[in-house]
Amino acid sequence: MIKEKTIEVKVQKTSNSRIKELDFENLYFGKVFSDHMFTADYKNNQWGDAQIIPYGPIPMSPSTSALHYGQAIFEGMKAYKNLKGEVSLFRPLANHKRINISAERMCMPPIPEEIFLEGLRKLIELDNNWVPMNEGSSLYIRPFIIGTDEFIGVKPSDTYRFYIITSPSGLYYNRPVKVLVETNFIRAVEGGVGFVKASGNYGRSLYPTKLAQKKGYDQIIWTDAQNHRYLEESGTMNLMFVIDDVLITTPLGDTILAGITRDSVLTLARDWKMKVQERKISIDEVINASKNGSLHEAFGTGTAATIAHIAQIGFENINYDLPEILPHSFANRVAKELENIRRGRVKDIHKWMYKIL
């Protein structure tokens, strides 16, 4: 249970709820947004003015620094409703830690835990009817911070605004995905900001992803900037492979986002005494394992994607069909276990769930 904090949050309720327009049986990802949003402002070296207001357009000067110099970071989280109607967040403290890691790298002030958690609690408490109960659905939560100085000049902003918006959503991927190994464009380099959830990281990925989608792929797999041989992550998820019953994933570093779903999957694998290796893995190793039959599973992990099976990998104009994910596979087993934890159907031994109401 997230306990009520001491900060004051002003609440302005909408006079016209849109929830009657929502079709809970046909939810897309990130298309519809709940009635309210949370905001807090940073000025004079401190955070304050926490409030909940109706969801709507953001007034912004054309000279707002975030638009020009990229001081914009965000998180992705989810809230779930169980059969009793209780609402819980999945690992919010991990998201709070990660947004502050991003903030430090982007020269932005950290958001205090009490503002982050109390903003989440009050916002979801107010919009709890927007939290879906259907299997595979959730309330997607997007906290983000932007620089708000009205100033044209290359320097960190002196003022910032923190927002939380929410979106009842279905599955991000509703079928196994086809991915293309990218060997031309570069997402991140050592010493850069690849480990940060900064808006610019995603902006630079759009063009190569668009090119891949024109070829029939759903996403791309980024490779190392130096040799383009070692797999890093996909556009929306960390990557995992099961080769000879060993779960293999790329180690964290400057170019890899520390995925919270990634960490959760690795934790469950170790709980189940599965052998886990966090090491570099090359595209050649994956292709060879696919050819000799030692590659049993390939999948991605992420808050939006959750567990996304990979059906095909394209590399150097050749498509490699990967093994079908069977019902008893690790990927399906861990996806089911995560869903059971989130819905309160099994014991939460790692204390990942934080009850809102």
Report the CATH number that the domain containing residue 307 is assigned in CATH.
3.20.10.10
pLDDT at 3 over 60: no
pLDDT at 74 over 80: yes
- pLDDT digit string (tens) for 227-249? 999 999 998 899 999 999 999 99
Q: Whole domain around residue 262: which residue ranges?
A: 177-325
Residue 156 sits in the same domain as residue 266: no
Residue 195 sits in the same domain as residue 138: no
Which tokens in the block code for residue 271?
């709980």
pLDDT at 265 over 90: yes
Nearest to 66 by CA among 141, 143, 155: 155
Residue 26 sits in the same domain as residue 46: yes
Kindly state whether residue 351 falls inside one of the protein's structural domains: no
The fraction of the chain above a pLDDT of 70, given in percent, is 99
The fraction of the chain above a pLDDT of 90, given in percent, is 91
- pLDDT digit string (tens) for 114-138? 999 999 999 999 999 999 998 889 9
Beta strands in 77-159 (DSSP E): 77-81, 87-90, 138-147
Kindly state whether residue 191 falls inside one of the protein's structural domains: yes
Residue 2 near residue 354 (C-beta atoms within 8 A): yes
Residue 225 near residue 288 (C-beta atoms within 8 A): no
Confidence of residue 357 (pLDDT cuts 50, 70, 90): confident
- Residue length of the chain: 357
| Of the residues 150, 171, 192, the one at which a domain ends | 171
Kindly state whether residue 120 falls inside one of the protein's structural domains: yes
Which tokens in the block code for residue 223?
């490779």
For residue 254, how many other CB atoms are within 10 A of its CB?
Answer: 14
Kindly state whether residue 1 falls inside one of the protein's structural domains: no
Residue 298 sits in the same domain as residue 244: yes
Kindly state whether residue 354 falls inside one of the protein's structural domains: no
* DSSP letter assigned to residue 282: B
* DSSP letter assigned to residue 230: B
Residue 181 sits in the same domain as residue 121: no
Residue 183 sits in the same domain as residue 157: no
Residue 129 sits in the same domain as residue 251: no
Structural domain count of the chain:
2
Residue 87, pLDDT score: 96
Confidence of residue 83 (pLDDT cuts 50, 70, 90): confident
Residue 326, pLDDT score: 86
C-alpha distance from residue 195 to each of 36, 98, 238, 281 (Å): 30, 10, 12, 18
Confidence of residue 274 (pLDDT cuts 50, 70, 90): very high
Residue 46, pLDDT score: 97
Confidence of residue 2 (pLDDT cuts 50, 70, 90): low
CA 193, CA 345: separation in Å to the nearest integer?
Answer: 38
Q: Tell me phi and psi for residue 155, to 5 degrees.
A: -165, 160
Residue 182 sits in the same domain as residue 157: no
Report the CATH number that the domain containing residue 145 is assigned in CATH.
3.30.470.10
Residue 129, pLDDT score: 96
Residue 128 sits in the same domain as residue 149: yes
Q: Is the dihedral of CA 235, 236, 238, 243 positive or negative?
A: negative
Kindly state whether residue 167 falls inside one of the protein's structural domains: yes
Kindly state whether residue 184 falls inside one of the protein's structural domains: yes
Nearest to 317 by CA among 224, 225, 216: 216
Residue 167 sits in the same domain as residue 182: no
Which tokens in the block code for residue 338?
């995560």
Residue 187 sits in the same domain as residue 166: no
Q: State mean pLDDT over 173-197.
A: 94
pLDDT at 5 over 70: no
Residue 104 sits in the same domain as residue 37: yes
Q: Is the dihedral of CA 211, 213, 214, 216 positive or negative?
A: positive
pLDDT at 223 over 70: yes
All residues at 6 or more sequence positions from 297 whose CB lies less than 8 Å from its CB, including other chains: 240, 241, 242, 309, 323, 325, 329, 330, 331
Hunting for tokens 């041989």 — which residue is that? 229
CA 13, CA 354: separation in Å to the nearest integer?
Answer: 25
CA 343, CA 138: separation in Å to the nearest integer?
Answer: 10
Q: Which value, to the nearest 10 degrees, does the dihedral of the CA atoms of residues 173, 177, 180, 185 take?
A: 10
